[in-house]
Structure formats: C-alpha cells, structure tokens
Chains A and B, each alone.
Chain A
Amino acid sequence: MEKKRHFTPGKIVMWIILAVFAVIQIFPLIWLVNHSLANNNEMFTSGILVMPETIRWDNYVTAFVDGHFLLYLRNSLLVNILAVVLVLLFSVMMAFACTRMHWKLSGVVMGLILMGMMIPIHATLLPNYIIYDKLRLTDTLWALLIPYVAFSLPQGLFLTSGFMRSIPKEIEEAAVIDGCGIYRVIGVIIFPMLKTSLVTVAIMTFLNNWNEFMMAMTYLSSPTWKTLPFSVLEFTGIYASNYAVQFAVMALTAAPMVIVYLCLSKYITEGVAMGAVKG
C-alpha cells in the first residue's frame, strides 16, 4: 500500500508556495483564538502571539452569556433554515412553471426575477426600512425572512431552471398522461431528481444569509430576533476597552460555521464551485 514519494526540488517549491498562502489565510484566525485566551493586559506585550499565564476560559463565559449566544444562534439557525427551505421550494415551483409549462408571460416573469441578481441588497435598505416600519414588520422574523428569501430567489431560480432543462421530460410527461397532478409531479418526480443540484442552492443561500447583518441591523432594534453577528457588534459597545473578551466573542460566534464547514468541507466547496461557475 505504501506509495513511493518523489520529492523533486520543483515539488518542494510548490509546497512552500502553497504553505505560505495557507499561513496567510489561516494565521490571523490563529492569532484571534490565541488572544481570546489571554487577559486584557497581556496583549500589549511585544510578542506576536501571547503566552497567557493562565488560560482565560472565562472570556468565553462572558462572551457566551453577555453575547446572548444561545438566543442569537437559535435566531440565526431558524431564519436561515426557513429561508433555505422557502428558497428551494419557490425556486423549484417557479422553475417548473417557467421551463415546463406553457403560458404567455413565462419569459417576462423569469427575466424579471433574474434581474434581481444584478440588484444590490443595499439599495433596498432605505425604502424597506420605511415599508417595514409602516407595516409594523420591524423587529419581527418577517423583516429578515422576506428579504433573505427574495434576494436568494433569483440565483436559486437561475440554478434550478438550468438543472431542470437538463433532466429529460419523458418521465414526468408519462406521469401526467397517467393522471398525476402537477403538484405531485413536482413533489414526487422533480424534487428527487434535482437533489444534488438543490444542495448547491441550499449551500449558496445559507452561506450568503448566514453572514448578512446590514438588513438585520437596519430592520431590528430589540434582541428578540437578532442574529449571531450581533453578539460581536454589541460587544464593541459594552466591552469597549476589554479587548480579550471581544476576541473571545468573535471566536465563539465564528465557531458554529467553522465546525460545520470542517465536517462538510468537501460538499460545501464543491457546492460553491458549482453554484458560482453556473451562476
């Protein structure tokens, strides 16, 4: 089983170059974790990394409790999972109607939604703030869920309709001839056939919205529905001069996604690559 390895000079140079880039990408994160375990005075010493005298786990306790970690994590998970489910559902429904069914405006509707890919989220912040304020939607789950779904839908529709064109029509047409309704065709035949492609849409949607905080910051003011980035944003105010605790809250809020990513990195990187190249 043992493979012979040839370390030619070329290969060693390649390793070194790749390792340098890896260090550049990863070292700031190591530095972050390192400082999160120190006490506040230790980080003003001259060394690049700190050797804490005692490891200050209590920084994390503060981050966990005062950062409303559990509440914000729950909110983030809830709004993101709901958004992914709705985006998948609506994308497949619309893609089916636009690519398979016969109606006059199908091209117009499709074109309109796809135009959404060009529109920057930030251009809607000001008017949406007024709209949600008037409709009393600020500080509700809807204020996040609606724009998250709406802004992920164009890409979702684009990807799913692309995939849908590549699957043969014969199976579903046979089912329709046998009297199977359109809804059942979509649920029982189309969804399972699109499974791998939908993973891509789900990953893209989740990644984009998980990191979002501009909308959340604009439309929410009470902690009820705030999402995970707020743990970090709020700490810079509360613990303005306690940097160690700020480091800890950053490491803590990054942790859930990093863990998920390390477990599923193959699927996530493949999903992103596929989504980005097609999109």
Chain B
Amino acid sequence: MQKAYSNKKIIFTLIAPGLLMFVFAILAPICLSVYYGFTDFSGLGAYQFIGFNNYKELFGDRNFWMSLRNSLLLAIGFICIQHPLAIITAALLDRMGKRAEGFFRTVYFLPNVISVAVIAYMWKFIYNPNFGLLNKMASALGFSGKTNWLGSGMAIWSVLIVLIWHGFGWGMLIYYTGIKNIDPVLYEAAAIDGADNKQTFLKITFPLMMPVIKINVTLAIISALKQMETVYLLTNGGPGNETQFLANYLYKQAFSSFRYGYGNSISVIFVIVCILATQVLNKIFPKEE
C-alpha cells in the first residue's frame, strides 16, 4: 500500500495540470512584472533598463499614497460602518423564525449575485445629477437636489457608499452563520438567569462571534486593498486621482498613460502589499481551531 501512495508517476499526473495552470497564469506573470518593473517600456517598441527608478518615482508619487489612503478609508468604512450594521442585522435576524429569516437573508444577499458591471453603472445612474435617484430623493425632501455626487471632494465618499452597500449582504451572511453556530443552550441558560437582550448580546453573542469577526475583518481589509472593478467603472479613479486605488492606478498607467514599465512596478508593490497585509493580519488574528 505504501508503494501505491508514493508512486511518483501518479503524484505527478495529479499535481501537474493544476500546478501548470497556476505557474502559467499567476507565477510567471508576476516574475515578468518584476522584469518589466525595471524598464521604461511604454507598451510598444524598444525599452531600456532603468534600475530602481520606477520604484523611486513610485514612493514619491502622490497618487500612489492616495491609493493606499483610499484603501485604508475603505477598510475603515467596512469595519466601522458595514460590519457593525451587519452584526446587528444578523443578531436580529437570528430571532425572527425560519420564514422571515430566509426572506431577509435572500434579500440582503441579492446585490452580491449581480455582476459588478451592472452594480457600478446602476450607481452611476443613482448618482446622476439630472435623473439620479439620490437627487430626486433629496429634492423630494426639500433640498436643492443638485449635488454632484461624483464631483471633487464628494466622489470618494460616494464610492465608499457603493462598496459598503454592495458587500453588506456578504458580511451579514457570514455573521449570521457565526451566530447560528452558537449553542442555543447558552441562550436558554442566560434566559433562566434573567439576562435581557442587551446583556445576552454583549455577554454571549458578541464574545462567541470573535473568531468570525476576525475572519471578516481580515477579508474586509484585503478586499479594500484589492478593490478595482467598481471604481474603474464608477469614476476610473477620478476626478483627478481622488478615488484612485492601486489596481486601478497600475492599469491606468499602463493602458492610458502608456507607461507599461511603471505600471508593472506598481503591480510588484501591489503584490507585496497584499502579501504583507495578509501575513500581518494572520499574526494579529491567529486562527484558533
């Protein structure tokens, strides 16, 4: 039996297809990015090696820091707005009884199954100054209704709202599952001891949810770093670079400003930032089994 389990040929055939795809689509491109990151390639024609110049420029690039700041803002938005609301909703939902729970869960998660392309353009219309939903609602409430939601100064908040809105159902669902996994005996015991709803939530639900909260916070920070699609369609980083995110910025540099080499150096830093963030978060929130 040992022999069958250490047959090199079989192991090779089991590993090779997946590994090849991984190397071809992820590992090799990243190595190529490192290579192009040291050049001034425009995307066409000849190029030269310029050493670390791209990286030097990048660390002095306002838009690079702006992208990181926006990721940070988004992460804070997720953690301080989306997640508390999601936890409260999940805790309330837990008490509603089967039918209502199924209904609300379905509704909350619905935006997540709709393509980001549709979501982004829908919100672009919601923010539209002429026929957008928001301005119509504002004027119905007696305001001027002429706000330029995607204009300078406002745009980043409008982008954050879309992303917080879109991810709400996903976060809620995970918290809801976490709450469902809490042993009901604990609630019964609390009820016998005369605990009220608030006490039950703070003393039982919340502490027992900590592992799930840690997972969700990690996911939120990573997805804030990786944000691209919605921003690309909603503002493409504009006005100026106010709503820029790393992924969008590298894409813009390569395909709109024809600075393919510089774009690749951003890619490399982007990968490093994501790996570092994941490692740091795993250190802060070690997985308990």
For the complex, is A276 an interface residue (Cβ under 8 Å from B)? yes
Alpha-carbon gap, A119 to B277, bound state (A): 11
Q: Quick one: which of B29, B251, B274 contacts A128, CB cutoff 8 A? A: B29
For the complex, is B264 an interface residue (Cβ under 8 Å from A)? yes
Q: Are B1 and A97 in contact (CB under 8 A)?
A: no
Alpha-carbon gap, A273 to B4, bound state (A): 37
Alpha-carbon gap, A204 to B233, bound state (A): 23
For the complex, is A10 an interface residue (Cβ under 8 Å from B)? yes
* Neighbouring B residues of A247 by C-beta, 8 Å: 125
For the complex, is A224 an interface residue (Cβ under 8 Å from B)? no
Q: Are A151 and B25 in contact (CB under 8 A)?
A: yes
* Neighbouring B residues of A257 by C-beta, 8 Å: 113-115
Alpha-carbon gap, A148 to B264, bound state (A): 21
* Neighbouring A residues of B278 by C-beta, 8 Å: 117-118
Alpha-carbon gap, A115 to B274, bound state (A): 11
With A22-B108, A118-B278, A153-B22 in contact, do A100 and B5 touch (Cβ < 8 Å)?
A: yes
Q: Are A277 and B174 in contact (CB under 8 A)?
A: yes
For the complex, is B11 an interface residue (Cβ under 8 Å from A)? yes
- Which chain A residues numbered 27 to 48 have a C-beta less than 8 Å away from chain B? 28-29, 31-32, 35, 43-44, 46-48
Q: Quick one: which of B1, B107, B113, B233 contacts A207, CB cutoff 8 A? A: B113
Shortest CB–CB separation between residue B244 and chain A, in angstroms? Answer: 13
* Neighbouring A residues of B222 by C-beta, 8 Å: 118
For the complex, is B60 an interface residue (Cβ under 8 Å from A)? no
Q: Are A113 and B122 in contact (CB under 8 A)?
A: no
Which of B104, B115, B232: most chain A Cβ within 10 A? B115
Binds B, one of A13-21, A54-62, A191-199: A13-21
Q: Are B117 and A233 in contact (CB under 8 A)?
A: yes
- Which chain B residues numbered 1 to 43 have a C-beta less than 8 Å away from chain A? 1-2, 4-8, 10-11, 14-15, 17-19, 21-22, 24-30, 32-33, 36
Q: Are B215 and A232 in contact (CB under 8 A)?
A: no
* Neighbouring B residues of A31 by C-beta, 8 Å: 126, 133
Q: Are A124 and B270 in contact (CB under 8 A)?
A: no
Q: Quick one: which of B19, B32, B96 contacts A109, CB cutoff 8 A? A: B19
Q: Quick one: which of B109, B115, B212 contacts A229, CB cutoff 8 A? A: B115
Shortest CB–CB separation between residue B10 and chain A, in angstroms? Answer: 5
Q: How many residues of A contact B (CB 8 A)?
A: 95
Shortest CB–CB separation between residue A98 and chain B, in angstroms? Answer: 8
* Neighbouring B residues of A113 by C-beta, 8 Å: 18-19, 22
Main secondary structure of the interface of A (DSSP, over half): helix
Q: Are A21 and B2 in contact (CB under 8 A)?
A: no
* Neighbouring A residues of B5 by C-beta, 8 Å: 100-102, 176, 182
For the complex, is A93 an interface residue (Cβ under 8 Å from B)? yes
Q: Are B14 and A96 in contact (CB under 8 A)?
A: yes
Which of A44, A102, A268, A272: most chain B Cβ within 10 A? A272
| Chain A residues with a Cβ under 8 A of chain B | 10, 14, 17-18, 21-22, 24-26, 28-29, 31-32, 35, 43-44, 46-48, 90-91, 93-94, 96-98, 100-103, 109, 112-113, 115-128, 130-131, 146-147, 149-151, 153-154, 157, 173, 176-177, 181-183, 186, 207, 210-211, 213-214, 218, 228-229, 232-233, 236, 243, 246-247, 250, 253-254, 257-258, 260-262, 265-266, 268-269, 272-274, 276-277
Q: Can you list 24 pairs linking A and B with CB atoms under 8 Å apart?
A: A22-B108, A25-B165, A26-B107, A28-B133, A29-B110, A90-B17, A93-B18, A115-B275, A116-B22, A122-B247, A126-B254, A126-B264, A147-B25, A150-B21, A211-B115, A213-B115, A214-B232, A262-B106, A265-B102, A265-B109, A268-B113, A272-B173, A273-B176, A277-B215
| Chain B residues with a Cβ under 8 A of chain A | 1-2, 4-8, 10-11, 14-15, 17-19, 21-22, 24-30, 32-33, 36, 85, 88-89, 92-93, 95-96, 100, 102, 104-118, 121-123, 125-126, 130-131, 133, 136-137, 139-140, 165, 168-170, 173-174, 176-178, 197, 212, 215, 219, 222, 225-226, 228-229, 232-233, 246-247, 250-251, 254-255, 260, 263-264, 267-268, 270-271, 274-275, 278
